[in-house]
Structure 1
């Protein structure tokens, strides 16, 4: 060791300063801050470059020590302890291994870390770990800073050993009584660490296991013993767990302290510890370490929000917000950080959406239409007030020069298809083509069957394009689309395949949009030049979700056609299944039909108690309903088999249809009056509501029977909501609360597949407040300066986000 810096003397000075209340003690020749600053400016050249730079930064801060608040002085001393501890640990581990003879495949970056530094060049990462981090969409240091924790564990409270309770998260400060590190006698590749710690209230045993030959080397084990000598004071943090030997800390972290008053400086001990979404091969410790390496870069971040805007909405500055959201000093600091970062998300999304609309030039439909009155005249029913209102909103959008981006949400049976056809006819009348894309062949055929009759009456051609379309017919459709001869095509994902070219695509209609990935939706839109976009969904959307959507306008069809009766919904235990069968027999005897829905196609070894559609079809036909005709429909059938099963049911050649959730959308049989759902607890609320919507489509009384043997509180609550309410919006709210939402910025969109920063806000009222302020701010900024020329930093951030979201023409 180079004697030009006495680490022990520095540690003693730090301990004395902490004991005396961080008062900048006067020594024989100089004050504490002067001594530390001078010492840290003279660190030996044998220190690693990273540590020398840390020392230089700390020395500069000690020059301002007298002006710092108490909390800042404590933090500075803590950071100095951490630096000296890291250096001492490196010295004990011995000299670094000799460099390899062959140069590494990927050269290490030796320059200082930057926001755009690729993670494979960050110390300790390398190509292999970088590849795993890429699965989390982490590619650069900036990505790491913007990868916010989904939760925090509070290790900030020190708990005496005698007061520990099972399941608690806690930090313990105690002395090491015994430290053993040895190779397992049963497994030479397993190293066991046993630690016994004691405070004034009791003792605690900690165990850790290391798999791998390198941990079995005597040198590594002796090094660990030197780091944690008997009598050393340590801080240990983890989750309290009861074992057969008593209480212990599970997944604990450990830090050596100078004395009981020492500030704990660990990234995972004695503080709020972040919890991140992970992937295979990336441990929590790995991610926390990486975040710790990148956090110093927050001081290089520029805050793109104008100061006037930030002050007006009382927002935390961006560098502080990012630092606090990862490792908050307090609950208040975390809450302020979440508000700022959630505001940023919705502000920029609204800003980019409005900016794109300003630059896009869409078709403008004719203010007066001749086709629409003709179409409405051939309908055998009158439009509801809600339908007329939504049609007016759509026509108003389509008469503008900016592309429409509107979502139409209507409960099951509310008449969304009729509304969509009016938009399609408006585009056709303006000389453009339209495309209607649905997620399944069943639903595409359902739309085609409805629309072809209307179009024939209007003298307009329409075609159906799916994966099962024969080659000759496919070539004919593609040719007609390319020449503009075909004004409307209905289809599945086949519409977005290569080779599908439109002459003048002016309107893209997407049904059940949540079943498509964002890339798939965007590829249809990109078939035209800034076409209008109309999205339809029967899956209820929570009010709190569509009110917080900053990029899309929403229309609600909140009125059902007259004559529809409420569906009687009942939750039944399996023991009352016979009552369900009796109801089905009575309905069939009166000329009606029934569905029986199951979650699986075939029996599963892992779910032996779950009835499968194939087995249940055979059982019902043979033993329960031998006098009735029982059909079967599931996702593994060929398109022709599915069509045959649906046609047979629609034409009343079968009385009962046993099916999986393939009937969730697109099967419209008004004569069906009973929906029996087996193992209903295995479905989400929105899905159950969709299934229930397959009945009640005629004028007869209909029934939905939810058969479930689950006794869990969550399952009972979910099924109870459906039994009590027919309101799709209320059901969607409860489903949102119970199941969460999908990743609204990535490619996933299901359940709780992704985490969003606004999820950390305390409640829905707080979410709405942040969103409304962000939306207002974005609109105000663009109204004052449409080009953002007055705000160059904001303009640069706008362009960065726009590029990042490129291709996401539909944000919802």
Structure 2
């Protein structure tokens, strides 16, 4: 038997077409045939660079039956790439169409990269990285800078440092005094001395012997680690408080080097991941850069390929800084490009031009028992100017709790009604929708403007009547919940859509309401103030207005911090308020008990409070796992005074206005963000009585006290949101992984505010004269590919 290239090529093609099933031939299985054919090739028939690879592929082929479909495909493609290079002396070359290899691109499969050793490809595959672009964007999560390393003897108390040390001994054990407490203890040393490091773990899972034995295997004697933390002086020696420990490799230790630290998976070694990623870096030397040269020069940005090299293998600190700046700029620049392009597209549509100042608005202003604040008047003017334009308004109004957003929205809706159009106001809950409805009835009935309420609880006969009046235009203003976006809801002339607490709705839900009219103007509102940097990052396609002034005479809410041991003082204040006829919220962070989080759970605490602490009082329960009907019933009972104390999770954060409620008690306050605590606090102080916010905390650290003190010293939601952004990050302000928050890998909205501003400016420079980016085809392609990755779509390569 001799090597038969034609039969091999046919066999490879058949196996591909059938989906890599390891086809059964007349005499043997596909992989057995291919293995036998490859063995027949003398090594001198192969080009020298391919000899080693051919032998590796032959060895891998032995395991073909055990491979997954993806693994089989990768292996076959690598073999097929070498088959045309086999030469038989004296025989004609196999007729295989050869195409010159194309330069690697972002979408090149790592399995096709000849520059990478096979085991490096395996490492990258174990990290879930399939393409060259994914590898390059697998950025280090931190760095160990050996040029700045400190010795143990040079540590100064009060400074946060990183030391490179070797483990001399390690113990992990359960405290004999507290079975819930597990202690990990390291003795570490460098050439200047040694010290002891401790970490503490609360919970049953850490007391498990299996977990403790696993830790002992990880932290073996002689292992080199980088430890970061705050230096503290004990009576015995120095130590690091709450240390972060990262295992590193001896080969990394090289004076003057900056070593990247990657997130590891599937038991991969740090050095293996570094070597595999560094193996592709030679390919970025001439990497295509879609960013226009003028923009790079204007903002002193390095080339994209240089940035990839600098982020993965920096030689010195300044190189790393410049690389990060360029890649952060890209993250923010393409995000702003997409926002501005969307805004330009919206402005191409024609919307109704609405009257700005008519009799209805004048009459409404005249009947209000209060004067608008300067901030309200400013925002009303911004909205009315938008309504004069033939393009649809896309404006977000953000204002603190009690700042008067609803009055501003009503004036916008009156402008639409006076122009002969209908308005719709959508709220996330029935209780909130009903509150808006009652307020609008009170304000608009004297103006003879019909208002209707449409929710899931609306009776069928009444619903049919409202739907008919909306379709004929008899009803000018409707308030509702998700019921407004049902298919059978039709408007005659919908001119303005107002969406309250817009972050509680999905993009699709908001869009469905807009589609009820011919390009209506859209006004969204939120009571969660966010800093400008965060607003640009999630609402970059909207115009943002801020009502940053509270009406005069509003009482400040008295905010007090109680350690858990003094909870009884908080209970005493609650009893006093209940005796005086007031109502109380008690907020807990969890629904059920959890081993991972030592926090009081709403269900268990509700029973305890009802049966013991506040026996004889009327308590209600509200949490996220209740049905919508159960939630609305609990909120209504509290609003109507049927219950005196509402025990709740943060579900109550938005959507209930009870002027008689004067106390907001929050358990485990240290587990909440400042912005969220401020939102909860805003549920009280809505009547004429002095109100209180009681923050009960189990946290004993100085950081906890310092953070919560912000609330005792300020009632300004915008200031508090800015502090929260600095202390906790954007995800906490918006709620855990708030939908719509872009996945910015390198960007810090705290540290990179300046880069965000120049990225926005750069995007505006390009989009304003060229909305379709016709003059920048590379940039246009890159933008579409980035958007496709964000939305999970398949990128077209045509």
Normalising to structure 2: TM-score of the pair?
0.68
Cα deviation digits, residues 396-452 of structure 1 (max 9, x gap): 122223333322111111111221222233334445444434334443333333334
Distance change >3 Å, CA 143–CA 510, structure 1 → 2: farther
For the residue of structure 2 that corresponds to 1:367, the secondary structure is: coil
Is 1:553 aligned to 2:543, yes or no?
yes
Distance change >3 Å, CA 703–CA 794, structure 1 → 2: same
Is 1:597 aligned to 2:587, yes or no?
yes
Q: 1:12 maps to which residue?
A: none
Cα deviation digits, residues 168-220 of structure 1 (max 9, x gap): 67599xxxxxxxxxxxxxxxxxxxxxxxxxx9999xxxxxxxxxxxxxxxxxx
- Kept in 2, the 8 Å contact 1:428–1:487? The answer is yes
Is 1:151 aligned to 2:138, yes or no?
no
Q: Please say which of residues 325-334 and 547-556 is displaced more in the overlay.
A: 547-556
CA-CA distance at 1:550 after TM superposition? 4.2
Q: 1:563 maps to which residue?
A: 553
Q: Distance in 2 between matches of 1:524 and 1:747?
A: 26
Q: Distance in 2 between matches of 1:587 and 1:125?
A: 70
For the residue of structure 2 that corresponds to 1:551, the secondary structure is: coil
CA-CA distance at 1:574 after TM superposition? 2.5
For the residue of structure 2 that corresponds to 1:305, the secondary structure is: coil
Cα deviation digits, residues 100-142 of structure 1 (max 9, x gap): 48998453345667436375965779999999988xxx77543
Q: 1:345 maps to which residue?
A: 331
Is 1:415 aligned to 2:404, yes or no?
yes
Distance change >3 Å, CA 164–CA 639, structure 1 → 2: same
Q: 2:765 maps to which residue?
A: 780
For the residue of structure 1 that corresponds to 2:525, the secondary structure is: strand
Q: Please say which of residues 474-483 and 386-395 is displaced more in the overlay.
A: 474-483
Picking from 688, 692, 704, the partner of 1:699 is 688
Q: Distance in 1 between matches of 2:164 and 2:387?
A: 59
Q: Distance in 1 between matches of 2:561 and 2:274?
A: 46
Q: Distance in 1 between matches of 2:133 and 2:733?
A: 20
Instruction: Provide the aligned C-alpha RMSD in A.
Output: 5.0
Is 1:322 aligned to 2:311, yes or no?
no
Q: 1:732 maps to which residue?
A: 721
Structure 1 residue runs of 5 or longer lacking an equivalent are: 1-42, 53-86, 173-198, 203-238
Q: Distance in 1 between matches of 2:65 and 2:304?
A: 45
Cα deviation digits, residues 38-64 of structure 1 (max 9, x gap): xxxxx987579xx66xxxxxxxxxxxx
Q: Distance in 1 between matches of 2:571 and 2:703?
A: 27
CA-CA distance at 1:568 after TM superposition? 0.9
Q: 1:358 maps to which residue?
A: 344
Q: 2:756 maps to which residue?
A: 771
Q: 1:572 maps to which residue?
A: 562
Distance change >3 Å, CA 755–CA 372, structure 1 → 2: same
Q: Please say which of residues 664-673 and 791-800 is displaced more in the overlay.
A: 791-800
Q: Distance in 2 between matches of 1:597 and 1:518?
A: 29
Matches within 5 A, 1:297-446: 297-299=283-285, 301-359=287-345, 360-363=348-351, 364-446=353-435
CA-CA distance at 1:392 after TM superposition? 0.7
Q: Please say which of residues 772-781 and 90-99 is displaced more in the overlay.
A: 90-99
- Kept in 2, the 8 Å contact 1:154–1:169? The answer is no
For the residue of structure 1 that corresponds to 2:498, the secondary structure is: strand
Distance change >3 Å, CA 162–CA 343, structure 1 → 2: closer
Q: Distance in 2 between matches of 1:393 and 1:489?
A: 24
Q: 1:541 maps to which residue?
A: 530
Is 1:669 aligned to 2:658, yes or no?
yes
For the residue of structure 1 that corresponds to 2:397, the secondary structure is: strand
Q: Distance in 1 between matches of 2:150 and 2:753?
A: 42
Is 1:275 aligned to 2:266, yes or no?
no
Matches within 5 A, 1:455-604: 455-466=444-455, 487-493=476-482, 495=484, 505-518=494-507, 520-522=509-511, 524-525=513-514, 530-546=519-535, 550-601=540-591, 603-604=592-593
Q: Please say which of residues 733-742 and 502-511 is displaced more in the overlay.
A: 502-511
CA-CA distance at 1:515 after TM superposition? 3.6
- Kept in 2, the 8 Å contact 1:742–1:751? The answer is no
- Kept in 2, the 8 Å contact 1:569–1:722? The answer is yes
Picking from 716, 721, 724, the partner of 2:705 is 716
Distance change >3 Å, CA 273–CA 413, structure 1 → 2: same
- Kept in 1, the 8 Å contact 2:619–2:643? The answer is yes
Q: 1:623 maps to which residue?
A: 612
Distance change >3 Å, CA 612–CA 644, structure 1 → 2: same
CA-CA distance at 1:393 after TM superposition? 0.9
Q: How many positions carry a matched residue from both structures?
A: 651
Cα deviation digits, residues 690-726 of structure 1 (max 9, x gap): 1111111122221111111221344323222212221
CA-CA distance at 1:462 after TM superposition? 4.4
CA-CA distance at 1:319 after TM superposition? 2.1
- Kept in 2, the 8 Å contact 1:631–1:654? The answer is yes
Q: Distance in 2 between matches of 1:804 and 1:95?
A: 36
CA-CA distance at 1:464 after TM superposition? 4.3
Cα deviation digits, residues 502-555 of structure 1 (max 9, x gap): 665544433333344555555555665554332222122124433666433221
Q: Please say which of residues 540-549 and 405-414 is displaced more in the overlay.
A: 540-549
Q: Distance in 1 between matches of 2:266 and 2:485?
A: 32
Matches within 5 A, 1:683-694: 683-694=672-683
- Kept in 1, the 8 Å contact 2:725–2:733? The answer is no
Q: Distance in 1 between matches of 2:683 and 2:68?
A: 62
Q: Distance in 2 between matches of 1:479 and 1:154?
A: 68
